[in-house]
Amino acid sequence: MSLIRRIVLASGSPRRAELLTHAGIPFRVCVPGVAEFRIIGESPQDYVRRLARLKARAVHAAADEIVLAADTTVIAEGEILEKPTSPADARRMLSLLSGRVHEVKTGICLRLGGREWEDCETTRVRFLSLSQAEIDEYAASGEPMDKAGAYGIQGLASRFIDRIEGCYFNVVGLPVSLVWRYLACVSEENPGVRLKSGV
């Protein structure tokens, strides 16, 4: 299989780095310094796409490097759930997710020189109904604190997930197949971006 040679991951997320590694996509990390806030009236999709775009523009890359940036958020009952600010906030979010279907949206942006490619992936996730004891125990584990929506589908919260519709990896933080399709597209449109074969 041919893989893109030079990728700059504009993210400090260990989960996104792990997903790229498992997919065999070589990269280096450059963490962007971008303030994450929502503009009044901005839709969840526009929000994650804008943040991904700002992150992609915030890091330095060589002329032949493709910058990849992403931003993920959770939407439940019309509310955008960011990373919780406290265990109490995590418990509030988990109570909102309990027994309901919510959406996870990840905006991606790829940049090569002055050109950019953007998209957004949506996955629907259904939670089991949680008891207060389950919510308290999970919030106390610390796992929710650095995750949008206050849960990690790949961790302890996996026991709460009844089913999903769409890309699992999108819920983890990066829709890998969507990213791969764009990487292939960028390389085909830009022959100067070399491919690495046989990896």
Distance CA 118, CA 124 (A): 21
**Measured distance CA(198)–CA(2) in Å, rounded:** 6
- 136 burial (CB, 10 Å; 0-12 / 13-18 / 19+) is middle
What is the CATH number for 10?
Answer: 3.90.950.10
Q: What percentage of the chain reaches a pLDDT higher than 90?
A: 79
In angstroms and rounded to an integer, the radius of gyration of the C-alpha atoms of the chain is 17
> CB of 176 within 8 A of CB of 183?
no
Amino acid present at 137: E
Write out pLDDT tens, residues 81-108: 989 999 999 999 999 999 999 999 999 9
Residue 22 CB neighbours (<10 A): 10
* Number of compact structural domains in the chain: 1
Decide: 180 and 7 in contact? Cβ < 8 Å: no
pLDDT at residue 17, rounded to an integer: 96
pLDDT (0 to 100) of residue 6: 81
The pLDDT of residue 126 is: 98
Cite the active site residues: 71
- 4 pLDDT higher than 70: no
pLDDT in tens, 119-140: 999 999 999 999 999 999 999 9
Give residue 142's pLDDT band: very low, low, confident or very high (50, 70, 90). very high
Q: How many CA atoms lie within 13 A of 165 on its CB side?
A: 5
Q: Write out the residue range of the structural domain in which residue 170 sits.
A: 3-196
Alpha carbon of residue 179 to chain centroid: 11
Q: Per the structure block, which two tokens stand in for 170?
A: 């999108």
- Closest among 56, 62, 164 to 119, alpha carbons compared: 56
